Structure 1
Amino acid sequence: MDAYIYRLIRFILLISFLIPSFICFLFVFFYLVKNREINSKQLQHHVILVLLFCNFILITTELPISLLYSYQGYVKPESNQFCSFWVAYNYGLYVAGLFLMAFGSVERYFLIFYERYVIKWRFIIHYPVILICFIYPLTFYNVIVNTYPCENVYYYDAYVCGGACYQYETIVGTIDYLIHVVTPTTFIILANIILLLRFTYQKRAMKLANTWRKYRLMYIQLVSISMLYFIIWIPFVIISLIRLFYDPLFLQDVTMLIINYCLYIGPLASPFISLVGLPGVRQHLRRNNLITPWISRNAQNLIGPAATFKKRTEQQQMALRKEYDEHTF
């Protein structure tokens, strides 16, 4: 298929997902601020909120650059300074999202089983770590892209201008990829597997302690977002590792035309998935018939005949009982 067709399809799909995602982001942020759902004691929401903020920045500031590139077929403006900015900004936001997801996966385990200690030490192990996860990747890539002693040769007809020159340095590029992509992805996988096993093992005890409902929502919220990251990042990591250590040309065209842009699915879908762990938001949507109104209509169609049948049966029973009483009298 012609590259223009790929770019056009990619542009249409991304812009189609961007609009509802943007609206959902605004709704979630507005609702949380208005209803003060997030406070200093609800630590389980903080990482997710910062992750949503990071993803919101990505889809509103970085994704438009990719959309413009997909539409035109070249980077605009055509300058090394802009390419350096795009590379550092793109990498920084993606890695910040991975770091926040990895920390959230680990912290969620301790919030469920050792919540008292996390709350006690939150000013040391909670707030500072979230801040570092967000600021460090943006700072790191801004520094290494602009100050590493090599000459950036950018291609204005390539995604993120073909990348920065440090990536083609074997040692530096490999260490960067292993630390900033493979490591957080591995933490996400291991932390969720351990949490699943522990959560399943202690399910009965948590029900007896009346904490099952509270922690179930926390668990479902994390697993929902984590599964999204699994589906998107694991294929990307596997392909990248093969290209890094075995065959540099492995699935090169697929990566350039499809895989790189699939990474946007996570940020675009994150506000919808975050609703799973925010019962207040879901209840508000249900009250206003904003979530699956067809379910309500179908439920009414199903409940209506059932209720009518039940009422008719009760009336018949009352009539028979009255008739029996009259005959007995």
Structure 2
Amino acid sequence: MLAPNYMPCGFANNALKTYEIIAHTILPTFIIVFSSIALLLRVFWHKYRMKQQFHWRRYRVMVMQVLPISCIFLIFPFPYVIVVLLQICGLSAAIGGAFLSIARFSSYYALLIFPIIAVGSSAELRHKFKKILLCGRPERAIAPTMTFNRQMT
């Protein structure tokens, strides 16, 4: 069984630990969050600069795909990344130690939830997923039918 303060053996070297945390934890989280928000701001700014009217219906799909992804990475790994970044900058390890022991694996939750958000935000994938869940049963439609009453004479 692993001890609660388990760390990879490469983290014994302080330079390797700092590189690993910055290159594989901090940078990807910041890049995902800020590039997603920058994409939305770029579209808004382009419409404003071109003096075109912004139609929300056209960009609703893009917003519905970008915002949940940004929110996932803001909720799960971002607090952990901020505390680790502050510790690298010189904050005492005792200040965020309890939080880090709990939040160490929070980035894994983002990876587990990401496919669900991807299916939910894409209309095509959502339709295919519903079709799979219905096990190929066709949707039942209620339609009027004509009946002929023949009277026997």
Q: Work out which of the residue numbers 76, 81, 85 in structure 2 matches 1:232.
A: 76
Cα pair 1:243 1:249 within 8 Å, conserved: no
Matched, 1:253 2:112: no
3-state SS of paired residue (2:105): helix
- Residue 13 of structure 1 is matched in structure 2 by none
Gap runs ≥5 in structure 2 = 135-153
Q: How has the CA–CA distance of structure 1 residues 288 and 176 changed in structure 2, closer, same or farther, with 3 Å as cutoff?
A: closer
Report the CA distance between 1:285 and its aligned residue: 5.7
- Residue 24 of structure 2 is matched in structure 1 by 180
Q: How has the CA–CA distance of structure 1 residues 286 and 253 changed in structure 2, closer, same or farther, with 3 Å as cutoff?
A: same
Cα pair 1:242 1:250 within 8 Å, conserved: no
Matched, 1:158 2:4: yes
- Return the alpha-carbon distance in structure 2 between the equivalents of residues 286 and 200 of structure 1: 33
Cα pair 2:33 2:73 within 8 Å, conserved: no
Write the letter of the residue equivalent to 2:112.
L
- Return the alpha-carbon distance in structure 1 between the equivalents of residues 116 and 13 of structure 2: 39
3-state SS of paired residue (2:94): coil
Report the CA distance between 1:279 and its aligned residue: 0.9
TM-score, normalised on structure 2? 0.66
Residues 53-92 of structure 1 aligned to structure 2 (within 5 Å): 74=1
Report the CA distance between 1:236 and its aligned residue: 0.4
Q: How has the CA–CA distance of structure 1 residues 169 and 278 changed in structure 2, closer, same or farther, with 3 Å as cutoff?
A: same
The runs of at least 4 aligned residues of structure 1 exceeding 4 Å deviation read 203-207, 284-290
Q: Work out which of the residue numbers 32, 35, 43 in structure 2 matches 1:191.
A: 35
Cα pair 1:228 1:266 within 8 Å, conserved: yes
Residues 15-164 of structure 1 aligned to structure 2 (within 5 Å): 74=1, 156-158=2-4, 162-164=6-8
Residues 284-299 of structure 1 aligned to structure 2 (within 5 Å): 284=128
Higher helix share: 1
Write the letter of the residue equivalent to 1:157.
A
- Return the alpha-carbon distance in structure 2 between the equivalents of residues 253 and 169 of structure 1: 22
3-state SS of paired residue (1:157): coil
TM-score, normalised on structure 1? 0.34
- Residue 67 of structure 1 is matched in structure 2 by none
Q: Work out which of the residue numbers 269, 273, 284 in structure 1 matches 2:117.
A: 273
Cα pair 2:33 2:74 within 8 Å, conserved: yes
The sequence identity of aligned pairs, in percent, is 23
Report the CA distance between 1:284 and its aligned residue: 4.8
Q: How has the CA–CA distance of structure 1 residues 167 and 276 changed in structure 2, closer, same or farther, with 3 Å as cutoff?
A: same
Report the CA distance between 1:228 and its aligned residue: 0.3
Cα pair 2:119 2:129 within 8 Å, conserved: no
Q: How has the CA–CA distance of structure 1 residues 218 and 238 changed in structure 2, closer, same or farther, with 3 Å as cutoff?
A: same
